[in-house]
Structure 1
Amino acid sequence: MQLSELTPERRLATIGGLGRAFLVTGTDLQQVLEQLAIALTASLCDGCSILLTPASGVSLAVTRRKTGSPDEAIAGTDRVHAMPFPRSDLVHGTVAVTRNRGSAPFDSDDLETVTACVEYASLAIESALRFEADRLCQARSGHFQKQVLGIVGHDLRAPLGSIVVGTELLEMDVKDDPGAMSVLKRIDTSVVRMRRMIDQLLDLTRARLGDGIPISRTKTQLLPLVTSVIGELAMTQSTTKLEVVGADITGVWDPDRLGQAISNVLTNALQYGREGAPIVIELDTIEGAATITVHNTIRDEPIPPDVLARLFEPDRRGVHDVRHSKSGLGLGLYIAAEIIRAHGGSITAV
């Protein structure tokens, strides 16, 4: 086919084919330029040279001649045409197309089609550059978050360890002084709260980084684990009875993390359940999956459906949290849900 015989349908097919090629190249800038050169030399010109200088990055160049086209001198300005990429903050460069002596000169339709292809390529290049910029930004953000995770895990925990050691030494010296012992006990309680908050922040950061909360599976018996958690919680309150029912279930779970999740859910039930009303933890299996159901009587009015649907999101508290939120950051149920998800399970509230 002579270049002068291009029909409107053929020109549209060239532009459409270029678009499909860009879907394959993705963010590879060199391949974007290669596909542009291939499309232009296939039907619109005998030779093509492209120079791209991104606003940030290394310059790229592509030169291509039509298959079988002689490397001959160009005669006349109607057989060479150069155009810049459309003005952009991200893309700078030039595209030059040529026709040999045996081909017809460029006409206005030819140049419009070449311009359309160049504009199409410019959009693909901008998209690739923006995607790469976003990826680098996310990578830097993730690196920063991991640095903060290390700071929280080490630089905040270390001083707390010193406080614990210091209070233990002071307790030995003032054990006969009730007033001083009372102050030290309050310090111990505050340290426990701070450690809990730091642990919650660490777990929140792990979950939000996308890696999820890490677990280490081992053969675990559920009944002794739940009984142990109940015993720990019973030491902090005496008005509510915690009771576990159901047969023991053995599985491969992370006992520490699973115990943390159960403790978080039960702590929430203790905070928002009716004072003195029993809390029942039921163990069962449904279609081969272990289930843990916590039954408690709510303190006041039922939780609204819209709040119930978001109960396991970060910092989602009930209507009475002003009175009951002094011991944490509102992350307990969210962390419990993330731990259960890490085990391949799910958690809901009704």
Structure 2
Amino acid sequence: MVEDSALERERARRVLEGHCVLEVFAEGPTMLERLALGVRPALVLLDLNLPGLSGIELLRFLRAQLDAAELPVLMLTVAGSKADVVASLEAGANDYVTKPYDPAELLARVTSQLRTQQLHQRLRHAEEGFRRLAAHLPDVVARFDRQHRHTFVSPSILRFTAQPVEHFLGKTNAELGMPAERVQQWDVAIDEAFTGREVSLEFEFPGADGRRTVQSRLLPERDDRGNVLSVLSIARDVTEERTRAEHERHLIGIVSHDLKNPLAAILMQVQVGLMRGGGDAATRDILERIRRTATRATDLVSDLLDFTRTRLGGGLPLATRPQDLRDVLGQVLEELRIARPDRQLRWEVEGETSLVSDGERLAQLATNLVANALQYSPRETAVGVRLE
């Protein structure tokens, strides 16, 4: 508190005693010397009419060093002087109390400012922690305001663009020279994120070693009331990841395709052996086991090929012909009954079931659905299947 009146200082001490630690000064220069030692108070109570350096002059000096969030100032003004109130607020005061003041009002305003100061400190600490974290991430972290300007960019932007952080701050993507089509893509995504939804964005980026594929997630940043204040973007270079995944898919496809030829040869030889009688019963049993195992391996290879085709965007090949779904489903359920003799399977058919379709794909779909039902339903219950 900076107050030249000893009576006012003592009065304020009695009001605030037990609520805060009050340090008093009779003049501004003495208080400034105290601040110069690195001791920053949570709040300054400042009398407007001080001898020598006036309260307004002292306030302007403080504001040149610290803003209203860093050091709140509560002005003590004379009752009835609107000009003093206006001058105090224009100079950077957070609030004011007119003298003579009601003790309860002074305590309430001081408590309010201290509470606000604590909130600012927590927010500042959280922001500092966020910036430290962003500085060590390989991803590019950026923050956008409602005008789509960059209000924060992490240092990793330098690796992506060879431009420093300062080049981006306060600018929109359009002002940074981004192509119009991509600006529109970003504008739509940022606007959607401001509605409260998370948005994913993928685009090509001209890097120093060629074009890069970048994937970005846009997240709304909210206040305590749930209002969206800004949008946070986390951009990651997925070029190597996509290239590696594509190579893996091609490798799976090549290996799967090459495996089908020897498996087909095995099946053909086994089938020939069975057609010729297969020798004694033990030999036929061995051949039948080989046939079942090779058939299963062929199915697995076909599944791998299907997986590769879908991942490469080619879709699943369909071999359609007229058939009855009753027969397809009946065969699937019979195989599952054999595989799971401990479970009950019930099914019913209603209406016309003939159509043109790929029976193998439908059998695969039905097998997956019913097998999951058998796997995850209680053992004592029956699994029902209805075809209509």
Shorter-chain TM-score: what band?
Answer: 0.3 to 0.5
Is the radius of gyration larger for structure 1 or structure 2? 2
TM-score by length of 2: 0.35
TM-score by length of 1: 0.38
